[in-house]
Structure formats: structure tokens, C-alpha cells
Amino acid sequence: MRRWMILTLVTLALTLPALAAGNWRQARLVVVPGRQAGPIRLGQPLSPEVFRVLGRPSVQQAPEPGPEGMDTGNVSWGGEAATELWLGINAKLNDGRGDQNVFTVYLVGVRAITDRGVFIGCDLARARRAYPEARRGEPSEMDEGAVFLEVPGLVMVFREGRLAEMVVRPRS
């Protein structure tokens, strides 16, 4: 009995800190177009809450200073390199008003849902019902076969009929 109690306490001591640390794979991110993706808010530096919720980033690249350095910094959770995001979250830094301010957020293969109920993995019909004002965007050569729906502050990228990626950006 005593060994069981000690083993239980040791197991808890080892696992509780890991559970308390943020985990971008498990975080549920509510997306508000033009404003935020979960705790990441456009136009503001990354707050301590971001790291508490998402954990330690896999990539941190400082932005170039000043307005000419706009959109040059990266903080990523997941992905292999600062410029490659195959799965995870990428916050692009320097919005032209502040070097550390978030400019754009890319979400790929994470638990993200918009304030209108569109989530990564949903079908194109659901997104069209939720955003009847959305206009179809033009894919680049690299995104051949993808369908882009755009609303102010949000680009939704569909591949094979499912929402694969969201890009939260300033409303223009």
C-alpha cells in the first residue's frame, strides 16, 4: 500500500508540471477576424498569457526594426522553420507601429474556431453559410487546387473541400 502511494505521488509530481504548461496542440483558439486568434491579439506584443496557453515556441525570430521591417519577425509553435508552417501556429511580428506587435497569425491543423462557428476541418458549405459576405480569393501558384474565402480580417484556405488553414490579419 505504501509503495503504491509513493508511486502515485511521484507520478503526479512528474506529470502535473507538464499538464500545467501550455500546449499549442491542445489549445482551443477562438478566432475573431481582424482582432485575435485565441490569446494572440493583432496590433499588440505577445502577452505572458500566450506562452501560458500555447507553451514554449519552437521558433523565435526577431523582427527587423521600424516600419521597413513590417512582417519580418516570427514566433511559431510547431513547424520546422520560421518560414515553413506545415502544422501549428505562426505569429508574424512588426505591424509597422511596433516591432513586437503581432501583424498576422497563421493557423494550420490546430483547434481553431471562428466566432461564427467555422473551424479547421469543416467543409466549404459551412463556411459559406457562416460568412455569406465572403468573397473568393485568388490562390497563388503554390496553392494550386486550393479554394480561398476572404472576409475582412480573415482568409480561409480550403484543400480537398475542408478548411485547412486560417490567416488572421488586419482588416483592410
pLDDT at residue number 50: 97
Which stretch of DSSP H or E encloses residue 73?
Answer: strand 73-78
Q: pLDDT for 93-128, tens place per residue?
A: 999 999 999 999 999 999 999 999 999 999 999 999
pLDDT at residue number 71: 86
pLDDT at residue number 167: 96
pLDDT at residue number 1: 52
> What does pLDDT average to over the chain?
85
Sheet-wide strand order for 147-151: 59-61, 73-78, 88-93, 102-108, 162-168, 154-159, 147-151, 135-137
**Long-range contacts of range 119-127, CB-CB < 8 Å, 24 or more positions apart?**
119/163, 120/163, 120/164, 120/165, 120/166, 121/162, 121/163, 122/162, 122/163, 123/161, 123/162, 123/163, 124/149, 124/158, 124/161, 124/162, 124/163, 127/156, 127/158, 127/163
Domain boundaries, the chain: 28-168
Mean pLDDT, range 18-25, rounded to an integer:
68
pLDDT at residue number 82: 45
Q: pLDDT for 29-74, tens place per residue?
A: 999 999 999 999 999 999 999 999 999 999 999 999 988 888 899 9
